[in-house]
Chains A and B, each alone.
Chain A
Amino acid sequence: LAAAALWDVLGILLGGAELLFDGVKEHHVTLPSQSEPWNMKQLLVWIGQNLLKERPELFVQGDDVRPGILVLINDADWELMGQLDYELQDKDNVVFISTLHGG
């Protein structure tokens, strides 16, 4: 029996990235149930369709995050976690920090 698992994810946007999301920094989201676990690649598509408010080209590039936006999963660099292939766990915490804004 396929578990009707829910993926509750906390997304946090910093460094100016929040400006593309109506200025909202914290997003508690419950991802729709699916048979396979959600991965980061799917999460980005979902964010693009459901949360991103303006100028998507400043956040995503192709099916990846735009270069210059840092991603942390549970407070660790996603480059250590498989990046787009990382499979999300329930209650994961994902932080996007833009470095493209003023220093």
Chain B
Amino acid sequence: MPIQCSKCTEQRAVLKRPKTGQSLCKECFFIVFEEEIHHTIVSAQLFKPGETVAIGASGGKDSTVLAHVMKVLNERYKYGLNLMLLSVDEGITGYRDDSLETVKRNQEQYDLPLKIVSYEELYGWTMDAIVKQALDRGAKLLNVDKICTGHNADDLAETVLMNVLRGDIARLRRCTSISTSSGGEDVLPRCKPLKYAYEKEIVLYAYFKKLDYFSTECIYSPNAYRGHARAFLKDLESVRPSAIMAVLHSGENLSIKESVKMPVQGTCGRCGYISSQALCKACVLLEGLNRGLPKLGIGKHHRLHEKLLSQQPLSNAEERKLKAVDF
């Protein structure tokens, strides 16, 4: 016995909303999903008319849905935004090649200009690292006012949980904010229009709209710790779908005791980009590659930053830990 849509009461329902438990037909789902994102954008005043906004596009489900919905809402509600797609080519063979092909098709499907910046263009090296910084620098080349990214409610809940598990109070405090203001001249404001959208609905929106997206496990991504946090949240969601929103809500409303010391956000001593350490992640990676110590960019080696900045050699013991493993 098919279940009817609880909104229009005419069509056959195609999904049960995790957020509300409502059963909706395809058309009502599209409307509700888009209107909620419109509501998020309007109530948090994410954009101003006339702005140029880059959509961080990876070819994956979240950024593909974001690009589609931003285009629809910009036209429907006359936001007056100049939208474009911005991708970073990290130079990972296979994974990136296919996902960039998807972004190129999206460019035609949504009729939005696309710029692909490569790490080679930005740093002179091809490797997987620091997409955030690359997006900023790419956007700067294009005179963009703002960047929006496809982070969804599940991603944010996962990040809240990760920051609790790591005891990272500074990140815990800022990870749920819907937009970040510009942090100096090199850093553009960023926002997350899909912040309150469930992953389930994003995936089903893409499926029912037949959007063209790319999905495969990124060969560099498996992170055991994050994987556990993710699996844990998914387990909770299957028992009680509101758990995702509840974790996000908790993160948003935490207040930090005044006696908690926060790290001061400074700038990189070499390139001037924001960095909580003496050197930013990109400069550490480059330094590691230049010195033949590839593991310098992986893990935490803050204590070495002063030495790197002042061009001092590392001790043998320090170098041994940072060399590539020989097979």
* A76 proximity list for chain B (CB < 8 A): 2, 12-15
- For chain A, the bracket of interface size reads 20 to 34
Contact across chains for A99 and B217 when beta carbons are under 8 A apart? no
Q: Name B2's closest neighbour in chain A (CB-CB).
A: A76
- Name the distance in Å between A28's Cβ and chain B's nearest Cβ: 20
Residue among A72, A98, A103 making CB contact with B63, cutoff 8 Å: A103
Q: Report if A101-B217 is in contact (Cβ < 8 Å); known contacts: A77-B14, A80-B16.
A: yes
In the complex, the answer to whether B58 meets A102 with C-beta atoms within 8 Å is: yes
Closest residue of chain A to B203 (Cβ to Cβ) is A99
In the complex the two chains form, is A80's CB within 8 Å of B58's CB? no
Which of A2-10, A12-20, A35-43 makes up part of the contact surface?
A12-20
Q: Is the CB–CB distance between B217 and A19 below 8 Å?
A: yes
What are the residues of chain A within 8 A of B221 when measuring CB–CB? 102
Q: Please count how many residues in chain B sit with their CB below 8 Å of the partner chain's CB atoms.
A: 34
In angstroms, how far is the closest chain A Cβ from the Cβ of B272?
A: 30
B246 at the interface (CB under 8 A from A): no
A103 near B235 (CB under 8 angstroms)? no
A70 partner, pick from B2, B12, B58, B203, beta carbons under 8 A: B203
* Contact indicator B199/A99 (Cβ below 8 Å): yes
Contact yes or no, B231 A67, CB < 8 A: yes
Question: Chain B residues near A103 (CB, 8 Å)?
Answer: 58, 60-63, 150, 152, 155, 199
Q: What residues of B have a CB within 8 angstroms of the CB of A14 in the complex?
A: 207, 215
Kindly state whether residue B230 has any CB partner on chain A within 8 Å. Answer: yes
Complex alpha-carbon distance, A16 and B238, angstroms? 20
Evaluate contact between B215 and A101: CB separation under 8 angstroms: yes
Residues of B within 8 A of A95 (CB): 207
Does B16 lie within 8 Å of A19, measured CB to CB?
A: no
Let me know if B3 is at the binding interface, CB within 8 A: yes
CA distance A100 to B199 in the complex (A): 10
What residues of chain A lie closer than 8 Å to B218, measured between beta carbons?
A: 102
Q: Is the CB of A68 within 8 A of B215?
A: no
Chain B residues with CB under 8 Å of chain A are 2-3, 12-16, 23, 58, 60-63, 150, 152, 154-155, 199-200, 203-204, 207-208, 215-218, 221, 230-231, 234-235, 237-238
